[in-house]
Structure 1
Amino acid sequence: MTLHLRVGFMPLVDCALVVLAKDQGFAEAEGLNLELVREVSWSNLRDKLNVRLFDAAHMLGPAAIAATLGVGGVRVPMAVPLALNLDGAAITVSVRRYEELARLADGDVADTAISARALAALVARRKASGLPPLTLAAVFGFSSHTYLLCEWLAKGGLTLGVDIRFEVVPPPQTVEALTSGRVDGFCAGAPWNAAAVSAGVGAMVHTGTDIRRDCPDKVLAWQADDLERRPAAVGKLTAAILRASEWACDPANIPRFAKHLSAADRLALPVEILEPVLHFNLVQGGGRPPRQVERFIRFDRAALRPEPAHADWILAGMESAGQIVRTPEMTEQARAVFRPAYFPGNDY
């Protein structure tokens, strides 16, 4: 008997394993009729999962923890039987801001500490001249992107939300926000940094891997009680995604992989933007050649294991962003969101 599941996703390269599970037939092979629904913002996606309009969702790991803890006005316990990727983010600023950073940098702007100090110098100059503060955006308040920004800024002695304005901009809107001058830069997942560079409005300053390797990012989130209430559904979708992971990690499949993601009901972006990202060959802008970044985004099986230790970094990020004051009880609840016991062994 075929089981129907409705799964929400956001248009990012890291939705890939959910898309491939459907489009390459892995879900069907597991007895699933997988309905994928593209969403416009992380808050929409979270709220629809909360009221069970979705069975499961491609979700920011920190958003799943925030909902479990009741931080941010929503309290619904979430569970993660597997992650969907590690890494894949980058920080992009407008071409004008990049040129300013390059002029102010005391050394190679590719060094995260040097670029952060250059940014601090720019912030100080603007303040002395009576200019408004710079604005940096992340895709959601509770996201690895927010916490990566905080880590980068701290190297220059800057605090997000104090020295630099902070704004939330959903991933598909980041290029327009940069183009219009609404923001001076953003941290987002692929391919939106590459899209901004390709549009001629952005320059990629750093990848997330420059700041932190194997950074927790997206997960497959369910409401927590579903793991016990619907074990067959959870197991079938997990198996389909693990099959998709194996397929995605074969370089020979990248052209077809990019074509799946480029579809109008997926990312709706040209293959010419997507395929280099999947080869980890990133356009940088700012007059620099493309950059090859080893394992820029990870879809391998080891990256998909839900690690309770990832909750520790997420909570530290929440605290650095002023979102929580950690307690031992919070740590216990957050670590329990990640459920390695539900991650299969060597056999599907």
Structure 2
Amino acid sequence: MTTPLHIGFIPLVDAAALIIAVDKGFTAAEGLDVTLVREVSWSNVRDKLNIGLFDAAHLLAPVAIASSLGLGHVKVPIVAPFNLGLNGNAITVSPALHAAIMSEIDGDPLDPMATALALARVVAARRKSGAEPLTFGMTFPFSTHNYQLRFWMAAGGVDPDEDVRLVVLPPPYMVDSLANGHVDAFCVGAPWNSVAVDLGVGHILHFVSDILVRAAEKVLAVRQSWSEKNPKVLASLIRAAAHAAEYIEDPGNRAEAAHVLARPERLGVGAEVIQRTLDGRLKVSPDGQRRESGRYLLVGREGAGRPDPAQAAWLYAQMVRWGQTEMRPDALRTAMAVFRPELYDAAMGRPGAASNAHGAIGAFAGPAFDPGDIAGHLAAFKIGHWKP
């Protein structure tokens, strides 16, 4: 007897573990009959998960926290027992903005502080000339993309709420918006940065791993009430996703994984673009310049699948910094409790596993992040909405 499940996803490479789990038989091996439902926007995924149309979902990590806190929508406690991906985002800019930043840069173009300072000079020059503010696209107010853009530009002195415009766009619409001049840049997950480069309408300025060494991106999310009623089913789903992640991380399987992900009903883009993402070898400029990084997207390696509550604390701190919520100890505890490493450990047969030992968040600016001192973290930054 199999258990039917409906799971929502957005066409992004960091949905790979879910898609491969279903299409290569890992869920079936666990006794699960999973129907994957492709969605366009994160609000659709969140709402269908919250009201029970989805049993589980590929979800932005901050949305799981915001839903559990009742921020921006109804309060529905969410559990995230598996990370579908760490990192994987990039900041892509139009050819015109890329040229402007490069003309102002003083330092290494791969150094996010150098580009942030250059951006500040571009913004100041535009203001002086009376030009419209630059517009940056991101996928959702409660998104890693929003916080990563803000963290980067604020480090260089650009106030994301005063000096530029930030607009919400669904991931599949980012490229057309850049090509049409509706935005000057965006932060989004793969494959959409690469698609923009391949079409000649964008330059990848930074991998998010330049900004944060280790950033929780997407999670396997379920309602807390559902997890409590279906613990064995959830454990089976975690194992299937974990085995799929191991499959993807084997270089010998990458071509097949990319082919599966490329199908029209899954991501609907070229397999070669997807494989470049999984391999961490990306074309970053329309002229063919390439860049390689072993940290571009972590699907299963380096303990990526195991949730780390410290990552949830960092995301909560960004919500506080940018005025989405007030700082409260009970809310911090709720946020950290969304990430459930003990459920992962139990499902994988590793009860009592040690805490994540692969390194902290590693932001390029500010002090090392301490989940026990959110106020100290926020006080280190001049730009933001939080006041001590």
Q: Give the shorter-chain TM-score range.
A: over 0.9
Aligned partner of 2:376 in structure 1 is: none
Q: Which residue of 2 aligns with 1:332?
A: 333
Instruction: Report the counterpart of residue 229 of structure 1 in structure 2.
Output: 229
Q: Deviations over 1:16-60 (max 9, x none)?
A: 000001011000111111100000100010000011000000000
Does the alignment pair 1:144 with 2:139?
no
Residue of structure 1 equivalent to 2:37: 37
**Could you say what secondary structure the match of 1:84 adopts?**
strand
Does residue 251 in structure 1 map to residue 251 in structure 2? yes
Q: Which runs of 5+ in 2 are unaligned?
A: 351-388
Measure, in 1, the Cα distance between the counterparts of 2:312 and 2:168.
22
Which residue is 1:307 aligned to? Answer: 308
What is the CA-CA distance between 1:160 and the residue it aligns to? 1.3
| 8 Å CA contact 2:199, 2:286 repeated in 1 | no
How far is the alpha carbon of 1:344 from its aligned partner?
3.0
SS in 2 for 1:233: helix
Distance 1:194 1:344 in 2: 35
* 1:157-196 alignment runs, 5 A limit: 157-196=157-196
The amino acid that maps onto 1:324 is: T
Q: Which secondary structure does the structure 1 equivalent of 2:309 belong to?
A: coil
Aligned residues: 348
Alignment partner of 1:266: what SS? Answer: coil
Match of 1:54 in 2: 54
CA distance, structure 2, for counterparts of residue 47 and residue 143 of structure 1: 15
Match of 1:323 in 2: 324
Tell me the CA shift for residue 199 of structure 1: 0.7
Distance 2:270 2:85 in 1: 22
Structure 1 CA distance for aligned equivalents of residues 165 and 78 of structure 2: 30
- 1:160 and 1:321 in contact (8 A); partners too: no
Structure 2 residue identity aligned to 1:154: A
**1:320 Cα offset (Å):** 2.4
How far apart in 2 are the matches of 1:165 and 1:98? 17
Q: Which amino acid aligns with 1:101?
A: I
Mapped partners of 1:309, 1:21: distance in 2? 27
**Range with bigger deviation, 197-206 or 313-322:** 313-322
In structure 2, the residue matched to 1:200 is: 200
Q: Matched residues, percent identical? A: 43
User: Distance in 1 between the 2:325 and 2:287 partners?
Assistant: 40
Shift of 1:161: 2.1
The farther-off stretch of 154-163 and 245-254 is 154-163
Q: Please tell me whether the aligned partners of residues 27 and 33 of structure 1 are also in contact (alpha carbons under 8 angstroms).
A: yes
1:101–1:109 Cα contact (<8 Å) kept? no
Alignment partners' CA distance in 2, 1:321 and 1:294: 31
Between the aligned partners of 1:318 and 1:89, the Cα distance in structure 2 is 19
2:25 pairs with 1:19: no
CA contact (8 A) 1:254 1:275 kept: yes
Residue by residue over 1:81-109, the C-alpha shift from the partner in whole angstroms, topping out at 9 and shown as x without a partner, is: 11111111100010111011111112232
2: distance between equivalents of 1:4 and 1:72? 31
Q: Deviations over 1:141-192 (max 9, x none)?
A: 1111111111110121112122110101111010011011111100111111
What is the TM-score with the length of structure 2 in the denominator? 0.88
Counterparts of 1:127 and 1:276 in 2: how far apart (Å)?
A: 38
Distance 2:28 2:259 in 1: 20
Query: 1:119 is paired with a residue of what secondary structure?
Result: helix
Give 1:10's aligned residue: 10
Q: Does the residue aligned with 2:103 lie in a helix, a strand or coil?
A: helix
